[in-house]
Structure 1
């Protein structure tokens, strides 16, 4: 594809997307007040955590570009996915904690448009093409949007985030049977979980999820404590924390992906 956009094809009717695993600054690094801050809010180790999905035949789509350059999981129109709640923009101007990202001035309309055409549009063109390719041979396709975030982000949510956060936009983006199967896996994990809590699914889930047309989209937001060292106060010396070997939540993730495949293959 390119040096920043990666598509790995399998035969299974499942796509696992990684929109926020990248740390590349897309040629605009001098604009940022701190390159470290511009990388800090990545979904750290997310592709490594889900490395097993290729062995299960899943397709993956990922970008190496940081969400601070452009967030490919935001509405390209700039409309908020969570009106009235703290969030970050299509081209974020602050970190999750509210720190300013830019040295002088925030991206203006022409720069945002350039970033959208350069990074956002190709990412979604690739994702859409994979969905179309799989739909040509499978009656059901599942899109699993893989995310993670620090367990404590006071600006975004109160207290400690549940370990597993399933988002289906209130059940609109997938068949109820798939949602129930994923909820069952979370319940059986014995760890904290919630469906459609603080994270109901970003633009990717909401845009592509069309169960009436055979595309079933879900978002899974993980609290990072389940798979990596998570210092109380991240700084340049201790962040990102080390990936656990093996991650405690790995069996549950494999069960979640397995449930997606079972549903997509029509064997449930």
Structure 2
């Protein structure tokens, strides 16, 4: 299979880091799931068109003005279906492996759904399709961790640590998009309509309440519907970074995909440019808030 240029593997650059182009602020944005460079050793057996449903396609582009507001912007180039940076290094289903893992594993609820560190299936219209017709070797999973997962975490941690060391704290935005059929995937038949944005702070534990309120109120002012922690609360990254009692505030932002793209073709729709402009304005609001917090 010949892949389009944007899907070509990039093993030399598993993560992109864009430094601030304006006066630096303790503001870090990361997009762990928008990568579209599919590694040559993936070995999946599903069509690429189906596999791409796992992408948070275009998210890093929607937020591309973050550096102009003083933020560091980090994005994975590899797809989450290959290995997911927003999962624990040990969140592996041992049933996927062809051998014994050399140490303890801690598979969680997402892993039981086939969506752990290494995805076992892809979902469309409530149907889960296996990604592989084989078990993965321990060596290839270890290679994915070493060559993709760890470099991403190292780059993000460096940006967080740099902000803390320089400014005494950090505000972190963990950027995602969500499929329109998420409630169906979760088996929830009496769920409310899916909001345009879902903000997750793990039930008030990863950032100051005023930070999530600021972002939610700003988005509502643009005309979007906003929910908090429903149905996404945030996972590995904000759970590890968010320590508001230490001045480290971390918030997950999910955007409903049809707001900006066609879920089948992955192409931007008419909402893409207006959304990008609104996110630029939101970043300006966040940057102003962060500056005010530094001088308070």
TM bucket, shorter chain: 0.7 to 0.9
CA deviation after TM superposition for structure 1 residue 242, in Å: 2.5
Give the Cα–Cα distance (whole angstroms) in 2 for the partners of residues 43 and 155 of structure 1: 16
Q: Per-residue displacement from partner, 1:11-45 (whole Å, max 9, x unpaired)?
A: 12111101011122223233443333333320111
Moved over 6 A (4+): none
| CA distance in structure 1 between the partners assigned to 2:88 and 2:110 by the alignment | 12
Match of 1:136 among 156, 165, 168: 165
- 1:77 equivalent to 2:86? Answer no
- CA offsets, 1:57-114, max 9 Å, x none? 2111111101111010112221466579846111001013311111x21434443222
After TM superposition, the score normalised by the length of structure 1 is 0.86
Q: In the aligned structure 1, how far is the partner of 2:110 from the partner of 2:78?
A: 26
Which structure is higher in helix share?
2
1:65 aligns with 2:42: no
Residue equivalent to 2:205: 172
- What stretches of structure 2 of length at least 5 have no aligned partner? 1-10, 92-105
Q: Which residue of 2 aligns with 1:197?
A: 230
What's the RMSD between the two structures over aligned residues? 2.5
Q: Which has the greater radius of gyration?
A: 2
Counterpart Cα distance in 2 of 1:157 and 1:188? 32
Partner in structure 2 of residue 99 of structure 1: 129
Residue equivalent to 2:266: 240
Report the Cα distance in structure 2 between the residues aligned to 1:225 and 1:126, rounded to whole angstroms.
Answer: 30
1:9-48 alignment, distance < 5 Å? 9-10=19-20, 11-48=24-61
Q: Does 1:90 align with 2:117?
A: yes
1:254 aligns with 2:280: yes
Q: Determine if contact 2:206/2:238 at 8 Å carries over to the other structure.
A: yes
Aligned to 1:6: 16
* Shift, 1:248, TM fit: 3.4
Partner residue in 1 for 2:185? 155
Q: 1:185 aligns with which of 204, 218, 221?
A: 218
Query: Do the aligned partners of residues 243 and 44 (structure 1) sit closer, same or farther apart at CA in structure 2, a change above 3 Å counting?
Result: farther
Aligned counterparts of 2:174 and 2:187: Cα–Cα separation in 1:
20
Number of residues of Structure 1 aligned to a counterpart in Structure 2: 260
Structure 1 position 225, deviation (Å): 1.6
If the length of structure 2 is used for normalisation, what is the TM-score?
A: 0.79
Residue 226 of structure 1 pairs with residue 259 of structure 2: yes
Deviation at 1:140, TM superposition (A): 2.7
